[in-house]
Amino acid sequence: MRKFFCIILMALLIAGCSPAPVSDELAVAIPTDPDNFHPHQSVAAATAEIAFNIYEGLVKAAPDGSIAPALAAEWDISPDGRQYTFTLREGVKFHNGRELTADDVVYCLTRLADPEISPKSRDYTDVESIEASGNQVIITLAKPNAVFLALLTEFGASIYPREAEAQLSNQPLGTGPFVLTAWEPNNSLTLTKFEQYWNPQLPKLNKVTLKITPEPTTMVNSLLTGHVDLIPRLEPDYLHQVENKPDLQIIDSPMNLVQLMAINNSVPPFDDIRVRQALNYAVNREEIIEGAGWGKGTAIGSNLTPAMGSWYKDLTGMYPYNPQKAKELLAEAGYPQGFSATLHLPAPYPLHRNTGEIIASQLEAVGIKLKIEVIEWGTWLEQVNANRNYELTVVGFTGRLDPHTMLNRYQSQSGRNISYFNNPEYDELLVQGLAETDPAARVEIYQQLQTILAQEASNVYIMDPSQIAVMGKDIQGWANYPVYVLDLSRLSRTK
Protein backbone atom coordinates (compact mmCIF):
# COMPACT_ATOMS: atom_id res chain seq x y z
CA MET A 1 0.00 0.00 0.00
CA ARG A 2 2.84 2.37 0.87
CA LYS A 3 4.49 1.64 -2.49
CA PHE A 4 1.22 2.32 -4.30
CA PHE A 5 0.77 5.60 -2.42
CA CYS A 6 4.28 6.74 -3.39
CA ILE A 7 3.64 5.99 -7.06
CA ILE A 8 0.44 8.03 -6.99
CA LEU A 9 2.15 10.90 -5.19
CA MET A 10 5.01 10.92 -7.69
CA ALA A 11 2.56 10.98 -10.61
CA LEU A 12 0.75 13.93 -9.08
CA LEU A 13 4.02 15.80 -8.52
CA ILE A 14 5.11 15.19 -12.11
CA ALA A 15 1.72 16.34 -13.40
CA GLY A 16 1.96 19.44 -11.25
CA CYS A 17 5.37 20.30 -12.67
CA SER A 18 4.29 19.81 -16.30
CA PRO A 19 3.39 22.97 -18.19
CA ALA A 20 -0.33 23.55 -18.43
CA PRO A 21 -1.84 23.78 -21.91
CA VAL A 22 -1.25 27.27 -23.29
CA SER A 23 -4.59 28.85 -24.13
CA ASP A 24 -3.61 32.44 -24.84
CA GLU A 25 -1.02 31.87 -27.58
CA LEU A 26 -1.24 30.72 -31.17
CA ALA A 27 1.21 29.65 -33.87
CA VAL A 28 0.19 30.35 -37.47
CA ALA A 29 1.86 29.12 -40.66
CA ILE A 30 2.18 31.64 -43.51
CA PRO A 31 4.06 31.07 -46.81
CA THR A 32 6.05 34.27 -47.32
CA ASP A 33 7.81 37.07 -45.51
CA PRO A 34 6.35 40.60 -45.63
CA ASP A 35 8.03 42.85 -48.18
CA ASN A 36 7.84 46.22 -46.41
CA PHE A 37 5.66 47.33 -43.51
CA HIS A 38 5.53 50.97 -44.57
CA PRO A 39 1.89 51.46 -45.62
CA HIS A 40 2.83 53.67 -48.58
CA GLN A 41 5.58 51.44 -49.96
CA SER A 42 4.42 47.84 -49.56
CA VAL A 43 3.08 46.08 -52.66
CA ALA A 44 2.70 42.47 -51.44
CA ALA A 45 -0.73 41.23 -50.39
CA ALA A 46 1.00 38.97 -47.85
CA THR A 47 2.15 42.08 -45.96
CA ALA A 48 -1.30 43.69 -45.88
CA GLU A 49 -2.68 40.39 -44.57
CA ILE A 50 -0.48 40.64 -41.46
CA ALA A 51 -0.60 44.44 -41.16
CA PHE A 52 -4.38 44.25 -40.64
CA ASN A 53 -3.53 43.33 -37.04
CA ILE A 54 -0.90 46.05 -36.49
CA TYR A 55 -2.25 49.15 -38.24
CA GLU A 56 -5.67 50.74 -38.61
CA GLY A 57 -7.15 53.43 -40.81
CA LEU A 58 -10.17 55.64 -40.33
CA VAL A 59 -12.38 52.77 -41.47
CA LYS A 60 -11.88 49.07 -42.12
CA ALA A 61 -13.40 46.14 -43.94
CA ALA A 62 -15.91 43.90 -42.18
CA PRO A 63 -16.32 40.17 -42.90
CA ASP A 64 -19.62 40.78 -44.72
CA GLY A 65 -17.94 43.23 -47.13
CA SER A 66 -19.33 46.35 -45.49
CA ILE A 67 -17.24 49.29 -44.24
CA ALA A 68 -16.93 49.49 -40.47
CA PRO A 69 -15.68 52.22 -38.13
CA ALA A 70 -12.06 51.97 -36.98
CA LEU A 71 -10.15 55.07 -35.87
CA ALA A 72 -13.19 57.10 -36.90
CA ALA A 73 -16.18 56.43 -34.66
CA GLU A 74 -18.47 57.93 -37.30
CA TRP A 75 -18.40 59.90 -40.53
CA ASP A 76 -20.59 62.10 -42.67
CA ILE A 77 -20.58 62.63 -46.44
CA SER A 78 -21.87 65.92 -47.88
CA PRO A 79 -24.86 65.79 -50.27
CA ASP A 80 -22.63 66.61 -53.26
CA GLY A 81 -20.37 63.67 -52.43
CA ARG A 82 -17.23 65.83 -52.18
CA GLN A 83 -16.65 66.34 -48.47
CA TYR A 84 -16.03 63.58 -45.91
CA THR A 85 -16.03 64.48 -42.21
CA PHE A 86 -14.59 61.84 -39.88
CA THR A 87 -15.02 62.10 -36.11
CA LEU A 88 -12.16 60.33 -34.37
CA ARG A 89 -12.65 57.77 -31.66
CA GLU A 90 -11.55 59.05 -28.25
CA GLY A 91 -8.63 57.58 -26.32
CA VAL A 92 -6.92 55.77 -29.19
CA LYS A 93 -3.21 55.22 -28.61
CA PHE A 94 -0.32 54.26 -30.83
CA HIS A 95 1.88 51.37 -29.85
CA ASN A 96 4.44 53.85 -28.49
CA GLY A 97 1.85 55.07 -25.98
CA ARG A 98 1.11 58.43 -27.57
CA GLU A 99 -2.51 59.38 -28.16
CA LEU A 100 -3.81 59.64 -31.72
CA THR A 101 -4.68 63.14 -32.96
CA ALA A 102 -6.38 64.50 -36.03
CA ASP A 103 -3.01 65.93 -37.09
CA ASP A 104 -1.61 62.38 -37.32
CA VAL A 105 -4.36 61.46 -39.75
CA VAL A 106 -3.75 64.57 -41.85
CA TYR A 107 0.00 63.86 -41.94
CA CYS A 108 -0.36 60.24 -43.08
CA LEU A 109 -3.10 60.74 -45.66
CA THR A 110 -1.42 63.84 -47.10
CA ARG A 111 1.74 61.82 -47.69
CA LEU A 112 -0.30 58.95 -49.14
CA ALA A 113 -1.85 61.31 -51.71
CA ASP A 114 1.50 62.88 -52.67
CA PRO A 115 2.91 61.33 -55.91
CA GLU A 116 6.40 62.45 -54.91
CA ILE A 117 6.19 60.24 -51.82
CA SER A 118 3.76 57.38 -52.35
CA PRO A 119 3.36 55.06 -55.36
CA LYS A 120 -0.20 54.50 -54.09
CA SER A 121 -1.09 58.15 -54.68
CA ARG A 122 -2.63 57.15 -58.03
CA ASP A 123 -5.81 56.18 -56.17
CA TYR A 124 -6.04 59.56 -54.41
CA THR A 125 -5.74 62.06 -57.25
CA ASP A 126 -9.20 63.45 -56.47
CA VAL A 127 -8.14 64.61 -52.99
CA GLU A 128 -8.23 68.42 -52.89
CA SER A 129 -7.53 69.02 -49.20
CA ILE A 130 -7.15 67.20 -45.87
CA GLU A 131 -7.69 69.28 -42.74
CA ALA A 132 -7.93 68.80 -38.98
CA SER A 133 -10.63 70.50 -36.93
CA GLY A 134 -10.56 69.49 -33.28
CA ASN A 135 -11.15 65.74 -33.17
CA GLN A 136 -12.41 65.71 -36.75
CA VAL A 137 -10.67 65.18 -40.08
CA ILE A 138 -12.25 66.81 -43.14
CA ILE A 139 -11.30 65.46 -46.57
CA THR A 140 -12.50 67.42 -49.61
CA LEU A 141 -12.45 65.91 -53.08
CA ALA A 142 -12.25 67.79 -56.36
CA LYS A 143 -15.20 65.72 -57.60
CA PRO A 144 -17.36 62.90 -56.27
CA ASN A 145 -15.55 59.58 -56.03
CA ALA A 146 -17.79 56.60 -55.34
CA VAL A 147 -14.92 54.35 -54.30
CA PHE A 148 -13.17 56.77 -51.92
CA LEU A 149 -14.50 55.37 -48.64
CA ALA A 150 -13.56 51.82 -49.66
CA LEU A 151 -10.03 53.00 -50.50
CA LEU A 152 -9.63 54.21 -46.93
CA THR A 153 -10.03 50.61 -45.67
CA GLU A 154 -6.84 49.52 -47.45
CA PHE A 155 -3.38 49.09 -45.96
CA GLY A 156 -2.03 52.22 -47.67
CA ALA A 157 -4.43 54.42 -45.69
CA SER A 158 -3.16 53.19 -42.31
CA ILE A 159 -2.36 55.83 -39.69
CA TYR A 160 0.98 55.90 -37.87
CA PRO A 161 2.85 58.46 -35.71
CA ARG A 162 5.07 60.75 -37.76
CA GLU A 163 7.98 60.21 -35.36
CA ALA A 164 8.09 56.55 -36.47
CA GLU A 165 8.24 57.35 -40.19
CA ALA A 166 11.87 56.32 -40.75
CA GLN A 167 11.56 52.89 -39.15
CA LEU A 168 8.21 51.67 -40.47
CA SER A 169 9.59 49.38 -43.18
CA ASN A 170 10.81 46.87 -40.60
CA GLN A 171 9.40 48.25 -37.33
CA PRO A 172 5.71 48.95 -37.97
CA LEU A 173 3.95 51.10 -35.41
CA GLY A 174 0.21 51.59 -35.51
CA THR A 175 -2.89 51.50 -33.31
CA GLY A 176 -3.95 47.91 -33.99
CA PRO A 177 -4.72 45.13 -31.52
CA PHE A 178 -1.24 43.61 -31.84
CA VAL A 179 2.31 44.96 -31.66
CA LEU A 180 5.11 43.45 -33.76
CA THR A 181 7.66 42.59 -31.07
CA ALA A 182 10.05 40.39 -33.08
CA TRP A 183 10.80 39.66 -36.72
CA GLU A 184 13.35 37.13 -37.88
CA PRO A 185 13.30 37.39 -41.71
CA ASN A 186 12.45 34.11 -43.45
CA ASN A 187 11.74 32.55 -40.06
CA SER A 188 9.02 34.13 -37.92
CA LEU A 189 7.18 37.22 -36.71
CA THR A 190 5.86 37.64 -33.17
CA LEU A 191 2.74 39.68 -32.50
CA THR A 192 1.98 40.59 -28.88
CA LYS A 193 -1.28 41.89 -27.44
CA PHE A 194 -1.44 45.70 -27.29
CA GLU A 195 -2.61 46.28 -23.74
CA GLN A 196 -3.82 49.83 -24.47
CA TYR A 197 -5.92 48.91 -27.51
CA TRP A 198 -9.05 51.08 -27.73
CA ASN A 199 -11.36 48.06 -27.75
CA PRO A 200 -10.82 46.38 -24.33
CA GLN A 201 -12.50 43.19 -25.59
CA LEU A 202 -9.77 42.60 -28.17
CA PRO A 203 -7.48 40.91 -28.88
CA LYS A 204 -8.37 37.70 -27.10
CA LEU A 205 -4.91 36.14 -27.44
CA ASN A 206 -1.78 37.40 -25.72
CA LYS A 207 0.66 36.30 -28.41
CA VAL A 208 0.64 35.04 -31.99
CA THR A 209 3.72 33.64 -33.70
CA LEU A 210 3.64 33.73 -37.49
CA LYS A 211 5.97 31.06 -38.83
CA ILE A 212 7.29 31.57 -42.36
CA THR A 213 6.75 28.18 -43.99
CA PRO A 214 7.15 28.27 -47.79
CA GLU A 215 6.56 24.55 -48.34
CA PRO A 216 2.95 23.36 -47.90
CA THR A 217 4.20 19.89 -46.91
CA THR A 218 6.06 21.42 -43.99
CA MET A 219 2.98 23.47 -43.08
CA VAL A 220 0.80 20.37 -42.88
CA ASN A 221 3.39 18.38 -40.95
CA SER A 222 3.76 21.27 -38.50
CA LEU A 223 -0.01 21.34 -38.00
CA LEU A 224 -0.28 17.59 -37.51
CA THR A 225 2.58 17.54 -35.00
CA GLY A 226 1.31 20.56 -33.04
CA HIS A 227 4.10 22.97 -34.00
CA VAL A 228 1.51 25.30 -35.54
CA ASP A 229 -2.18 25.65 -34.68
CA LEU A 230 -3.57 27.31 -37.80
CA ILE A 231 -3.01 27.35 -41.56
CA PRO A 232 -5.13 30.26 -42.90
CA ARG A 233 -4.74 29.34 -46.56
CA LEU A 234 -4.09 25.67 -47.17
CA GLU A 235 -3.14 24.69 -50.69
CA PRO A 236 -5.91 22.35 -51.95
CA ASP A 237 -3.35 19.68 -52.92
CA TYR A 238 -2.91 18.97 -49.23
CA LEU A 239 -6.54 18.93 -48.13
CA HIS A 240 -6.72 15.14 -48.05
CA GLN A 241 -3.96 15.05 -45.42
CA VAL A 242 -6.01 17.01 -42.88
CA GLU A 243 -9.51 15.75 -43.59
CA ASN A 244 -11.25 13.52 -41.05
CA LYS A 245 -8.82 14.43 -38.26
CA PRO A 246 -10.81 14.56 -35.01
CA ASP A 247 -8.70 17.34 -33.50
CA LEU A 248 -8.88 19.62 -36.58
CA GLN A 249 -11.58 21.79 -38.16
CA ILE A 250 -11.68 22.88 -41.80
CA ILE A 251 -13.44 26.07 -42.88
CA ASP A 252 -13.98 26.45 -46.64
CA SER A 253 -14.99 29.92 -47.94
CA PRO A 254 -14.84 31.96 -51.17
CA MET A 255 -11.53 33.80 -51.35
CA ASN A 256 -12.61 36.62 -53.70
CA LEU A 257 -9.34 36.14 -55.57
CA VAL A 258 -9.11 36.39 -59.35
CA GLN A 259 -6.81 33.63 -60.51
CA LEU A 260 -5.78 34.24 -64.10
CA MET A 261 -3.17 33.60 -66.70
CA ALA A 262 -2.06 37.17 -67.37
CA ILE A 263 -1.13 37.95 -70.96
CA ASN A 264 1.26 40.71 -72.00
CA ASN A 265 -0.99 42.31 -74.66
CA SER A 266 1.86 44.49 -75.93
CA VAL A 267 4.21 41.81 -77.29
CA PRO A 268 3.79 39.57 -80.36
CA PRO A 269 2.00 37.28 -80.86
CA PHE A 270 -0.22 38.30 -77.94
CA ASP A 271 -0.88 41.75 -79.36
CA ASP A 272 -3.24 39.94 -81.78
CA ILE A 273 -6.71 39.48 -80.26
CA ARG A 274 -7.16 36.25 -82.22
CA VAL A 275 -4.20 34.71 -80.41
CA ARG A 276 -5.54 35.82 -77.04
CA GLN A 277 -8.96 34.42 -77.93
CA ALA A 278 -7.31 31.17 -78.97
CA LEU A 279 -5.70 30.90 -75.56
CA ASN A 280 -9.11 31.35 -73.94
CA TYR A 281 -10.72 28.64 -76.07
CA ALA A 282 -7.80 26.26 -75.46
CA VAL A 283 -7.98 26.45 -71.67
CA ASN A 284 -10.34 24.12 -69.83
CA ARG A 285 -11.24 25.86 -66.55
CA GLU A 286 -13.10 22.91 -65.08
CA GLU A 287 -10.10 20.64 -65.60
CA ILE A 288 -7.91 23.20 -63.80
CA ILE A 289 -10.36 23.55 -60.90
CA GLU A 290 -10.41 19.78 -60.47
CA GLY A 291 -6.71 19.17 -61.14
CA ALA A 292 -5.07 22.15 -59.46
CA GLY A 293 -7.82 23.15 -57.02
CA TRP A 294 -9.11 19.67 -56.16
CA GLY A 295 -12.59 20.88 -57.03
CA LYS A 296 -12.35 23.79 -54.58
CA GLY A 297 -13.02 26.82 -56.73
CA THR A 298 -15.54 28.68 -58.91
CA ALA A 299 -14.93 29.37 -62.61
CA ILE A 300 -14.83 33.04 -63.67
CA GLY A 301 -14.79 34.79 -67.03
CA SER A 302 -13.49 38.25 -66.18
CA ASN A 303 -11.73 40.17 -63.40
CA LEU A 304 -14.44 39.89 -60.71
CA THR A 305 -15.70 36.93 -58.71
CA PRO A 306 -19.17 35.87 -57.52
CA ALA A 307 -18.09 36.97 -54.01
CA MET A 308 -18.66 40.55 -55.25
CA GLY A 309 -22.41 39.96 -55.33
CA SER A 310 -24.45 42.16 -57.67
CA TRP A 311 -21.30 43.70 -59.19
CA TYR A 312 -20.35 40.35 -60.71
CA LYS A 313 -21.33 39.35 -64.24
CA ASP A 314 -21.03 35.71 -65.24
CA LEU A 315 -19.03 35.66 -68.48
CA THR A 316 -17.75 32.09 -68.27
CA GLY A 317 -19.81 31.17 -71.32
CA MET A 318 -18.00 33.59 -73.64
CA TYR A 319 -15.13 31.17 -74.26
CA PRO A 320 -16.30 27.59 -73.80
CA TYR A 321 -13.56 24.98 -74.00
CA ASN A 322 -13.08 24.47 -77.76
CA PRO A 323 -9.57 23.44 -78.90
CA GLN A 324 -10.67 23.24 -82.53
CA LYS A 325 -11.82 26.87 -82.45
CA ALA A 326 -8.48 27.77 -80.88
CA LYS A 327 -6.59 26.11 -83.75
CA GLU A 328 -8.72 27.96 -86.31
CA LEU A 329 -8.01 31.33 -84.68
CA LEU A 330 -4.27 30.59 -84.52
CA ALA A 331 -4.28 29.75 -88.24
CA GLU A 332 -6.14 33.00 -89.02
CA ALA A 333 -3.54 34.90 -87.04
CA GLY A 334 -0.73 33.32 -89.05
CA TYR A 335 0.27 30.55 -86.66
CA PRO A 336 -1.11 27.34 -88.18
CA GLN A 337 1.66 25.34 -86.51
CA GLY A 338 1.41 27.24 -83.26
CA PHE A 339 4.34 28.99 -81.56
CA SER A 340 6.52 28.95 -78.44
CA ALA A 341 6.34 31.25 -75.41
CA THR A 342 7.54 31.49 -71.81
CA LEU A 343 5.26 31.09 -68.82
CA HIS A 344 6.55 32.52 -65.52
CA LEU A 345 5.17 30.89 -62.37
CA PRO A 346 5.61 32.22 -58.79
CA ALA A 347 7.49 29.71 -56.62
CA PRO A 348 5.65 30.20 -53.29
CA TYR A 349 2.20 29.42 -54.70
CA PRO A 350 1.61 25.74 -55.59
CA LEU A 351 -1.93 26.48 -56.83
CA HIS A 352 -0.58 28.85 -59.48
CA ARG A 353 2.31 26.51 -60.36
CA ASN A 354 -0.03 23.55 -60.75
CA THR A 355 -2.44 25.65 -62.79
CA GLY A 356 0.41 26.72 -65.08
CA GLU A 357 1.48 23.14 -65.67
CA ILE A 358 -2.07 22.09 -66.60
CA ILE A 359 -2.41 25.10 -68.92
CA ALA A 360 0.90 24.20 -70.59
CA SER A 361 -0.48 20.75 -71.34
CA GLN A 362 -3.77 22.16 -72.65
CA LEU A 363 -2.04 24.69 -74.91
CA GLU A 364 0.34 22.08 -76.28
CA ALA A 365 -2.73 20.30 -77.64
CA VAL A 366 -3.36 23.27 -79.97
CA GLY A 367 0.29 23.76 -80.96
CA ILE A 368 1.45 26.29 -78.36
CA LYS A 369 4.58 25.13 -76.54
CA LEU A 370 5.27 26.84 -73.25
CA LYS A 371 8.63 27.01 -71.53
CA ILE A 372 7.90 27.11 -67.81
CA GLU A 373 10.12 29.22 -65.56
CA VAL A 374 9.44 29.03 -61.82
CA ILE A 375 10.77 32.18 -60.14
CA GLU A 376 11.03 33.38 -56.56
CA TRP A 377 8.35 35.76 -55.32
CA GLY A 378 10.69 38.74 -55.00
CA THR A 379 11.83 38.20 -58.58
CA TRP A 380 8.23 37.91 -59.75
CA LEU A 381 7.31 41.19 -58.03
CA GLU A 382 10.21 42.98 -59.70
CA GLN A 383 10.30 41.37 -63.13
CA VAL A 384 6.60 40.77 -63.81
CA ASN A 385 4.66 43.08 -61.51
CA ALA A 386 6.93 46.13 -61.57
CA ASN A 387 8.80 45.91 -64.88
CA ARG A 388 6.13 43.93 -66.79
CA ASN A 389 8.89 41.96 -68.51
CA TYR A 390 7.15 38.70 -69.37
CA GLU A 391 4.87 36.99 -71.91
CA LEU A 392 2.55 34.85 -69.76
CA THR A 393 2.21 34.32 -66.01
CA VAL A 394 -0.28 32.73 -63.61
CA VAL A 395 -1.10 34.71 -60.50
CA GLY A 396 -3.99 35.82 -58.31
CA PHE A 397 -5.33 39.38 -58.00
CA THR A 398 -6.67 39.92 -54.50
CA GLY A 399 -10.25 41.07 -53.96
CA ARG A 400 -11.30 44.54 -52.82
CA LEU A 401 -14.47 45.93 -51.28
CA ASP A 402 -15.36 48.01 -54.33
CA PRO A 403 -15.17 46.75 -57.94
CA HIS A 404 -13.43 49.89 -59.09
CA THR A 405 -10.23 49.06 -57.27
CA MET A 406 -10.22 45.61 -58.87
CA LEU A 407 -10.99 46.84 -62.38
CA ASN A 408 -9.00 50.07 -62.55
CA ARG A 409 -5.77 48.06 -62.82
CA TYR A 410 -6.66 47.78 -66.54
CA GLN A 411 -6.72 51.54 -67.08
CA SER A 412 -4.30 52.09 -69.98
CA GLN A 413 -1.83 54.24 -68.02
CA SER A 414 -2.00 52.35 -64.72
CA GLY A 415 1.25 51.00 -63.32
CA ARG A 416 -0.77 48.02 -62.05
CA ASN A 417 -1.78 47.14 -65.61
CA ILE A 418 0.65 44.25 -66.04
CA SER A 419 -1.30 43.10 -69.12
CA TYR A 420 -0.71 46.41 -70.97
CA PHE A 421 -4.43 46.34 -71.76
CA ASN A 422 -5.43 49.45 -73.72
CA ASN A 423 -9.02 50.30 -74.58
CA PRO A 424 -10.32 53.93 -74.75
CA GLU A 425 -13.93 52.91 -74.07
CA TYR A 426 -12.78 51.05 -70.98
CA ASP A 427 -10.88 54.10 -69.71
CA GLU A 428 -13.92 56.30 -70.19
CA LEU A 429 -16.23 53.89 -68.37
CA LEU A 430 -13.84 53.87 -65.40
CA VAL A 431 -14.19 57.65 -65.15
CA GLN A 432 -17.98 57.35 -65.30
CA GLY A 433 -17.99 54.65 -62.64
CA LEU A 434 -16.21 56.92 -60.17
CA ALA A 435 -18.54 59.86 -60.76
CA GLU A 436 -21.80 57.87 -60.76
CA THR A 437 -23.75 58.07 -57.50
CA ASP A 438 -26.74 55.89 -58.46
CA PRO A 439 -25.97 52.33 -57.26
CA ALA A 440 -27.88 50.62 -60.08
CA ALA A 441 -26.12 52.71 -62.72
CA ARG A 442 -22.74 51.89 -61.15
CA VAL A 443 -23.53 48.16 -61.30
CA GLU A 444 -24.29 48.49 -65.01
CA ILE A 445 -21.01 50.33 -65.66
CA TYR A 446 -18.85 47.78 -63.87
CA GLN A 447 -20.60 44.91 -65.59
CA GLN A 448 -19.82 46.61 -68.92
CA LEU A 449 -16.17 46.85 -67.87
CA GLN A 450 -16.07 43.12 -67.13
CA THR A 451 -17.62 42.43 -70.53
CA ILE A 452 -14.99 44.48 -72.37
CA LEU A 453 -12.16 42.63 -70.62
CA ALA A 454 -13.71 39.33 -71.70
CA GLN A 455 -14.51 40.39 -75.27
CA GLU A 456 -10.97 41.65 -75.77
CA ALA A 457 -9.57 38.43 -74.28
CA SER A 458 -7.36 40.61 -72.09
CA ASN A 459 -6.28 37.56 -70.07
CA VAL A 460 -7.40 34.02 -69.41
CA TYR A 461 -9.58 34.29 -66.30
CA ILE A 462 -9.69 30.98 -64.48
CA MET A 463 -11.29 30.79 -61.04
CA ASP A 464 -11.90 32.13 -57.58
CA PRO A 465 -10.18 29.47 -55.47
CA SER A 466 -11.66 28.49 -52.15
CA GLN A 467 -9.90 29.71 -49.03
CA ILE A 468 -9.32 26.60 -46.96
CA ALA A 469 -8.49 27.43 -43.35
CA VAL A 470 -7.43 24.50 -41.15
CA MET A 471 -7.03 24.83 -37.40
CA GLY A 472 -7.32 23.04 -34.11
CA LYS A 473 -10.82 22.21 -32.87
CA ASP A 474 -10.15 24.38 -29.82
CA ILE A 475 -9.80 27.60 -31.88
CA GLN A 476 -12.80 29.89 -32.07
CA GLY A 477 -13.57 33.23 -33.72
CA TRP A 478 -12.35 32.60 -37.28
CA ALA A 479 -13.78 35.13 -39.76
CA ASN A 480 -13.42 35.03 -43.52
CA TYR A 481 -13.19 38.38 -45.32
CA PRO A 482 -13.78 39.28 -49.00
CA VAL A 483 -10.37 41.02 -48.92
CA TYR A 484 -6.92 39.56 -48.29
CA VAL A 485 -6.57 39.97 -44.54
CA LEU A 486 -5.96 37.70 -41.57
CA ASP A 487 -7.97 38.82 -38.53
CA LEU A 488 -6.17 37.43 -35.49
CA SER A 489 -7.83 39.74 -32.98
CA ARG A 490 -11.02 37.68 -32.51
CA LEU A 491 -9.39 34.27 -32.29
CA SER A 492 -9.41 32.46 -28.96
CA ARG A 493 -8.77 28.99 -27.61
CA THR A 494 -11.06 26.93 -25.43
CA LYS A 495 -8.48 24.79 -23.65
Domain ranges of the chain: 45-167, 179-253+468-493, 257-466
pLDDT at 237: 86
Per-residue pLDDT tens over the stretch 225-246? 999 999 999 988 899 999 999 9
pLDDT at 44: 85
pLDDT at 495: 65
pLDDT at 6: 39
pLDDT at 20: 37
This prediction's pTM: 0.80
Superfamily of structural domain 257-466: Dipeptide-binding Protein; Domain 3 (3.10.105.10)
Task: Supply φ then ψ for residue 363, to 5 degrees.
Answer: -70, -30
Per-residue pLDDT tens over the stretch 447-478? 999 999 999 999 999 999 999 999 999 999 99
| The listed CATH number (3.30.1280.10, 3.30.930.10, 3.40.50.920, 3.40.190.10) that belongs to domain 179-253+468-493 | 3.40.190.10
| The listed CATH number (1.20.140.10, 3.90.76.10, 3.40.630.40, 3.40.30.10) that belongs to domain 45-167 | 3.90.76.10
pLDDT at 22: 52
In tens digits, what is the pLDDT along the chain, a chain of 495 residues?
444 333 443 443 444 443 434 579 999 999 999 999 999 999 888 899 999 999 999 999 999 889 999 999 999 999 999 999 999 999 999 999 999 999 999 999 999 999 999 999 988 999 999 999 999 999 999 999 999 999 999 999 999 999 999 999 999 999 999 999 999 999 999 999 999 999 999 999 999 999 999 999 999 999 999 999 999 999 888 999 999 999 999 999 989 999 999 999 999 999 999 999 999 999 999 999 999 999 999 999 999 999 998 999 999 999 999 999 999 999 999 999 999 999 999 998 989 999 999 999 999 999 999 999 999 988 999 999 999 999 999 999 988 899 998 999 999 999 899 999 999 999 999 999 998 888 999 999 999 999 999 999 999 999 999 999 999 999 999 999 989 899 999 999 986
pLDDT at 410: 98
